[in-house]
Copies of this chain bind each other. A is one copy, B any other.
């Protein structure tokens, strides 16, 4: 986890070469790590890409700054810059080069794991301490189950998927390839479905469907995805879910949609492709959302959205409509006062006119 470029004699010159950038300044500075512009040290590289961080350009102690051609002039002349078309992407390339991804020992079957004899686990998959694997599970190549992961019966896990500590995959869940499921997430818990009896008590509706998670999906820590009552809850390829997200039974989330922390999607909602759903958004059930919809934070989506675009507010409306209302709201207390003044003025005028008419 140490953020040092250990064992490699990086300099500003070799770094510029590695990212295909142009060096401006001192080519011989040793670079031993990376850091954020606000707290990088003189032997670390950083990057600048977001105007909100412009104030740190002169203050930063970083040894060199990756920067786009358009912003190169903003870097003080006494700092060493590496000018590169996409500085953040270049920075990520450096991160990948120097921080190898944590990898469990291939083929590990920890002695404390409980593996059902009918489970089929690829030889290259790793099963950490305390993991539990149920009957008839099929687990692919290079899968990693870190520690205390519980996999109920009849679960499928595709190749190269990593599942972190204390995750639960309930019976019949299917997870695709190259997924990452973070600690504490629960996939396949019962949906919240009841029939109300005349006395107000509840009869549980059996939740006999499943959850199908596609390829390249990432699921955040302590996020919950319920199984469908009937059929499947479906998380398509490339979906990214942040922490503490709730996906109810029967929901389908379209490919490459991202849902930020603490958002909640009610039952049987159908979300299109490439949606961007911000934190703490809520969505009622049984509605459809188009592709390419962006929903801003804390919005409450109470009806279908058929047109791509930005939506905001609770209830959610077109983003600019909510902004207009919000601006008007700030004027509302003044409006109330001005209105009462105008009422009095008109009243006075009316009296005067009556008085005139009496002449």
Is A346 positioned at the interface, with any CB of B under 8 Å from its CB?
Answer: yes
Closest-by-CB residue of B relative to A266 is B279
Task: Select the residue from A190, A224, A230, A328 with max chain B CB neighbours within 10 A.
Answer: A230
A219-253 vs B, CB cutoff 8 Å, 1 = contact: the mask equals 01110101010110000001010111010101000
- Assembly CA distance A326 to B313 (angstroms): 11
Residues in chain B near residue A69, CB distance under 8 A = none
A248-285 vs B, CB cutoff 8 Å, 1 = contact: the mask equals 10100001101011101010000001100001101010
Residues in chain B near residue A180, CB distance under 8 A = 190, 204
Is A18 positioned at the interface, with any CB of B under 8 Å from its CB?
Answer: no
B171 A168 Cβ-Cβ under 8 A: no
B300 A297 Cβ-Cβ under 8 A: yes
Closest-by-CB residue of B relative to A347 is B345
B210 A1 Cβ-Cβ under 8 A: yes
Number of copies: 3
- Assembly CA distance A153 to B297 (angstroms): 35
A326 B315 Cβ-Cβ under 8 A: yes
Is A182 positioned at the interface, with any CB of B under 8 Å from its CB?
Answer: yes
B101 A206 Cβ-Cβ under 8 A: yes
- Assembly CA distance A210 to B273 (angstroms): 32
B280 A192 Cβ-Cβ under 8 A: no
A155-166 vs B, CB cutoff 8 Å, 1 = contact: the mask equals 000000000111
A264 B261 Cβ-Cβ under 8 A: yes
A114 B129 Cβ-Cβ under 8 A: yes
- Assembly CA distance A154 to B99 (angstroms): 15
A346 B343 Cβ-Cβ under 8 A: no
B314 A325 Cβ-Cβ under 8 A: no
Is A9 positioned at the interface, with any CB of B under 8 Å from its CB?
Answer: no
Residues in chain B near residue A183, CB distance under 8 A = 150, 168, 170, 186, 189
- Assembly CA distance A29 to B166 (angstroms): 46
* Other A-B pairs, 9, CB within 8 Å; known A201-B256, A243-B246: A99-B208, A102-B152, A132-B148, A148-B150, A170-B183, A192-B242, A194-B258, A248-B261, A298-B314
6 nearest A-B residue pairs (beta carbon)? A1-B172, A150-B165, A168-B183, A114-B129, A189-B221, A186-B221
A-B contact pairs, 29 of them (CB 8 A): A1-B172, A34-B230, A36-B228, A92-B195, A102-B153, A130-B130, A132-B148, A148-B148, A166-B184, A170-B183, A183-B189, A184-B222, A189-B220, A189-B243, A192-B243, A194-B258, A202-B258, A222-B222, A224-B261, A243-B246, A260-B266, A279-B282, A297-B302, A298-B314, A315-B326, A339-B342, A342-B342, A346-B346, A353-B353
